[in-house]
A and B are shown apart, each in its own frame.
Chain A
Amino acid sequence: MKKVLIIGATSAIAEHCGRIWATRGDELYLVARNEVHLQTIAADYEVRGASSVAINCVNLNELDRHVDLLESAENAMNGVDVVLIAYGTLSNQKECELSVEETLAEIQTNALSTISLLTLIANRFEAKKSGTICVMSSVAGDRGRASNYVYGSAKAMVTAFTSGLRQRLHKSNVTVVTIKPGFVDTPMTSEFKKGFLWVKPYVVAASIVQAINKNRAEIYVPSFWWLIMLCVKLTPSIVFKKMKM
């Protein structure tokens, strides 16, 4: 039985990870903004078999609440074994291009607040010499593309940061798992036309839980995105800059 802290627990992918953990009988501590939604999920986890579920309503952009949040989670479960960081917004690229404020707000949510949490969690886990930190990054962070480079650059920061953190914490027996999902059919992407590359959140969740169990480092979900992104990364800039993607 693990003690799992889910930050951004109302995101579709995180919710499905939570269902797997709940079915397994884990202890869960859920953090997100929307209280009603959190209560719905908590009741669901209890029926599915979680041994305990606690919720905490926090706007994660309020960085000064992060320490408090981690302490509450540790107190509620008497320690934390696994942290999943899964919140974020899918930036409206067009609006960001027209507004510095909008761009910085997106970077604040998708990169800086995550970095704040990661720094605090890393130090706590390093001190106790155990724990797993799993962070949702994105394939969008592998190479900036015109259609969503604001979101992509925030995720690039998360990927680079977790890569460094993984090296640093390796000797302290702390695992850092970076997840790069491809196209996932969630409420966040409801406006997109879905093709054959799209997968359901429960499929991604199963891969994430498995990656955590196996102490993986950086994974693409589904795994074929590794090949797609390799091609994207290897495309020479002279060609890439003319492409529409």
Chain B
Amino acid sequence: MTTTISGWGNYPRQESQCTTPPNAALLRSTVIQEGSFIARGMGRSYGDSASANKVLGTTCCNHFIYFDEHTGKLTAESGITLREILNVIVPKGWFLPVTPGTSYVTLGGAIASDVHGKNHHIAGTFGQHVTALNLVLGTGEFLTASKHENADLFYATCGGMGLTGIIISATIQLIPIRSSFINQKTIKADCIEAACEAFIENNNTTYSVAWIDCLAKGRNLGRSVLMLGEHAKEGGLEIELKEPIAIPFNVPSALLNSMTMKTFNTIYWHKATDKPHNAVPLMPYFYPLDAIGNWNRIYGKAGFLQFQCVLPKSDGVANMRKLLTEVSNSGEGSFLAVLKQFGKANDNLLSFPTEGYTLALDFKLNASTIQTVKSLEAMVVSMGGRIYLTKDAVMQETTFKATYLNWEKFEAVREKYGAIGKFSSAQSKRLGLA
């Protein structure tokens, strides 16, 4: 059946033949049919990485397989969401080792994007906590991959954007918690230099992330509100999963303009105060936007581009100032902007994080947006940084190949395991992958 699909940014849209097989066996029999596919879970990557002419939905393959409550090893099918996992593990005293900013992503998607969280500087990416993966290859063969078995396939699949095969199930190592609360500390930093300084000072804190005012200029450039967190030791292990408030329609795009966004940011900045300590439940701490279903609709029908880059640690602060100057001069940035310090890179071939600073922004789509993003892209390349594939919808092939230096090794692994010609997305084609 043909439907119009897009990523979470609602841009670009395309016609696609979507099937959601009810179980892994039927998923496999679809893979061996004619044509090339891309797996799609919750459709929360922003651009076109889960879009293709033929899409294989994984959301019916969403069963738990095994959970060892004593060791915290969890095995589940790839279409299960992190939200469902949390519902089972938190009351038993376990938590995800790494979590992105939404719980509405699948396990398979988290691995394919090798997602990172507020603890990247300490825990690395999601893929680093995966102990084994089961895939359907392009040949229809089921294969297990881990750091010890078919390791080349493992390092290509974690962060591999679904281009090596379809992840059927995975085992992850959870972390123990004693409470479902987070002790949060808030620090205001009045410019980008102060923000980066604060990250370094709080390098030992488990969770750290900053909201950044990307519209502020001059001496206020890069003013941020840092939110630090540690797992609390008391407060019980209850978890409350509220149904999100729905935004039933696209918000008229005139409502979000540089004026309203500037006002919002100024109010947000002045409302924030240095807070030494307050306990908040897990769900609103890690997933504040999950309270609103379809928040992507606030950007209107045209959709939005999300831009996330990482800049290397050396000259990172000075380069971040240059980048932010460009953003604030464009006047296009929004209120959903995030700054974070990354720890060391890992061995996954296409994984995004490298040691340095990462900045993520939304741009409501209009005539000049793509140009703004392209000029930021050029700056990132010249600064030795790179752009996150999960957020990307417009990156050029040359940028990809100049910044993801392992792309040829990645292609070799795909060749070896029969993925070429069998798995591709609109993004992989744009980036010049076979």
**Residues of A at under 8 Å CB distance from B?**
12, 23, 36-37, 40-41, 43-44, 46-49, 187, 190-194
Chain B positions within 8 Å of A49 at CB level: 88
Whether A190 pairs with B19 at a CB distance below 8 angstroms is yes
Whether B1 pairs with A190 at a CB distance below 8 angstroms is yes
Query: When the two chains form the complex, which single residue of A41, A190, A193, A194 contacts B63, counting CB atoms closer than 8 Å?
Result: A41
Chain B positions within 8 Å of A48 at CB level: 64, 88
Q: Whole-angstrom distance between the alpha carbons of A46 and B67 in the complex? A: 9
Q: Whole-angstrom distance between the alpha carbons of A125 and B372 in the complex? A: 70
Beyond A36-B25, A187-B22, A190-B19, whether A43 also contacts B64 by CB under 8 A is: yes
Chain A positions within 8 Å of B21 at CB level: 187
* 1/0 contact string of B36-77 vs chain A (CB within 8 Å): 000000000000000000000000100111110000000010
Whether B23 pairs with A47 at a CB distance below 8 angstroms is no
Q: Whole-angstrom distance between the alpha carbons of A149 and B3 in the complex? A: 28
Judged by a CB distance under 8 angstroms, whether B186 is at the interface is no
Secondary structure at the A interface, as helix, strand, loop or mixed, is helix
B314 to A: closest C-beta gap in Å: 46
* 1/0 contact string of B81-123 vs chain A (CB within 8 Å): 0000001100000000000000000000000000000000000
A243 to B: closest C-beta gap in Å: 25
Besides A37-B23, A41-B63, A46-B64, 9 more A-B contacts (Cβ < 8 Å) are A36-B23, A43-B63, A43-B64, A44-B64, A44-B65, A47-B88, A48-B88, A187-B21, A194-B3
Whether A187 pairs with B66 at a CB distance below 8 angstroms is no
Number of interface residues of B (CB under 8 A): 17
Secondary structure at the B interface, as helix, strand, loop or mixed, is mixed
Whether B1 pairs with A191 at a CB distance below 8 angstroms is yes
Chain B positions within 8 Å of A23 at CB level: 87-88
> Which chain A residue lies CB-closest to B69?
A47
* 1/0 contact string of B174-195 vs chain A (CB within 8 Å): 0000000000000000000000
Q: Whole-angstrom distance between the alpha carbons of A209 and B408 in the complex? A: 53
> Which chain A residue lies CB-closest to B65?
A43
Q: Whole-angstrom distance between the alpha carbons of A202 and B66 in the complex? A: 22
> Which chain B residue lies CB-closest to A203?
B243
Chain A positions within 8 Å of B60 at CB level: 12, 187
Whether B64 pairs with A47 at a CB distance below 8 angstroms is yes
Counting from the closest, the 8 A-B pairs by CB-CB distance are A47-B64, A44-B63, A187-B22, A47-B67, A44-B64, A40-B63, A43-B65, A48-B88
Chain A positions within 8 Å of B66 at CB level: 43, 47
Chain A positions within 8 Å of B25 at CB level: 36
Chain B positions within 8 Å of A12 at CB level: 22, 60
Q: Whole-angstrom distance between the alpha carbons of A37 and B1 in the complex? A: 25
Whether A193 pairs with B1 at a CB distance below 8 angstroms is yes
